[in-house]
Amino acid sequence: MVVSLKKIPLLIILASLCVLSSCYFDKEDLLYPTNCISANDVKGPKFTEVESLIKSSCNGCHLNGGNDGGYNFDGFCSIVNSWNAIYNSCVIRSDMPPGSPLNANQKQMITDWVNAGHRYTD
Ligand code: HEC
């Protein structure tokens, strides 16, 4: 391939944009799925409610090693990293838990946590 010299600076800019964007730290969760907290993080009240809701309502299928549909919620990072799937299945589609959807208060707990930023610290 023949590249004219005038185009080289443009190619360098494009190449560095690709490199920079692929290293952007938003991708950290995808690269390190268990890394959802920092050393000084304290568990937030909204997350605490969602966590206990999940422990009581998702048992038998997604807890104690259960991995139905490829989702296990034993660790808090797995809850944090699955916020979108949890919100969609429990609140939007109401198809989890199967056959006995969450009540309005329980759905609201998930919605409040998601709206607050769906973090461990929220
Ligand atoms: C009785 C067993 C059972 C319970 C209880 C249950 N699930 Fe599931 N869950 C399943 C099964 C089976 C699948 C896979 C279904 C499928 O892929 O169609 C699934 C799939 C999912 C998925 C993936 C959905 C997707 O979009 O692919 C999520 C997220 C999920 N469950 C969250 C929950 C949460 C949160 C709870 C508790 C509030 C819960 N489930 C309770 C059995 C259960």
Q: Please say if the pLDDT value at position 112 is more than 60.
A: yes
Please tell me whether the overall predicted TM-score, pTM, comes out greater than 0.85 for this model.
no
**Number of the ligand 1 atom closest to the C-alpha atom of 100:** 5
Q: pLDDT tens digits for 6-30? A: 665 655 544 554 444 544 444 444 4
Q: Rounded to whole angstroms, how far apart are CA atoms 64 and 73? A: 8
Give ligand 1 pocket residues (Cβ under 6 A). 54, 57-58, 60-62, 68-69, 71, 82, 85-86, 88-90, 96-98
The Cα 117–Cα 103 span in angstroms is 22
Residue that is written with structure tokens 């056959």 in the block? 99
d(CA 5, CA 27): 34
Residues 27-74 have pLDDT tens digits of: 444 444 457 999 899 999 999 999 999 999 999 999 999 999 999 999
- 3-state DSSP: the chain helix, strand, coil percent, rounded to 5? 55, 0, 45
Of the candidate ranges 27-41, 74-88, 96-110, the one whose mean pLDDT is the lowest: 27-41
